Amino acid sequence: MKFAYLLILLSTAVLGCQSSHSDEKLKETTRFNNYMDAQGIITIEELQSNYPIFTVKRTSQPSPQAIEYLNKVTQTTEITAYLCTWCHDSQREIPELIKLKQALSNPNIQLKLIALDRNKKDNLGLAEKAGVLYTPTIIVQQKGKEVGRIIEKTSQEIGLELKEILESATE
């Protein structure tokens, strides 16, 4: 009898713990959960509308020298940015990259954004294939070959860093 009573008491405690979380509580969205949602190829518009931190207005402006140089690039150049929506480095660097892209009038410069989960993976395996270990990782390619990458943070304004990468690729 004591065993049956103990089993009932234990069952009630377990079930009680489970039912103490209402459906509303389980559905509640937290900042942590929001930042886990993005994974895979994402547009600038999707990123900025779903993750407002990426629309933060920065006071810095892209370098005029970088804009002038990048607008004259004749080789198709793909810039692929692997980012995590929850990552502070991505939240700092990616808005600057977007601002630079929007300041350019060169269709030869293409920007692709790929969001990664907390394991730094995406649903297409692109990050693994590219050897991405840290975010953001910004990979610059011409003629299908990598000519440079920026990992986690820039050493200077992002436009100038991209300019240097592309200048060294043409040497």
Comparing CA positions, the residue from 128, 77, 129, 123 lying closest to residue 100 is 77
Could you confirm whether domain 33-170 is CATH 1.10.3720.10? no
Average pLDDT over every residue of 40-60: 88
Which pair of tokens denotes residue 67? 């804009």
Is residue 125 within 8 Å of residue 132, measured between CB atoms?
no
The per-residue DSSP string of 96-132 comes to HHHHHHHH---TTEEEEEEE--TTS--TTSHHHHHT-
> What are the beta bridge partners of residue 113?
42, 81
- Considering the chain, what percentage of its residues have pLDDT values greater than 70? 77
What's the confidence (pLDDT) of residue 2?
Answer: 57
3-state SS assignment for residue 77:
strand
Q: For the chain, what is the mean pLDDT?
A: 84
Q: Could you give the C-alpha distances from 134 to 101, 116, 126, in angstroms and in order?
A: 22, 10, 14
Is residue 81 within 8 Å of residue 134, measured between CB atoms?
no
Which pair of tokens denotes residue 103? 């300041």
With a threshold of 0.75, does the pTM exceed it? yes
> What are the beta bridge partners of residue 83?
115
Domain ranges, ordered by start, for the chain: 33-170
Amino acid at 31: R
What's the confidence (pLDDT) of residue 10?
Answer: 47
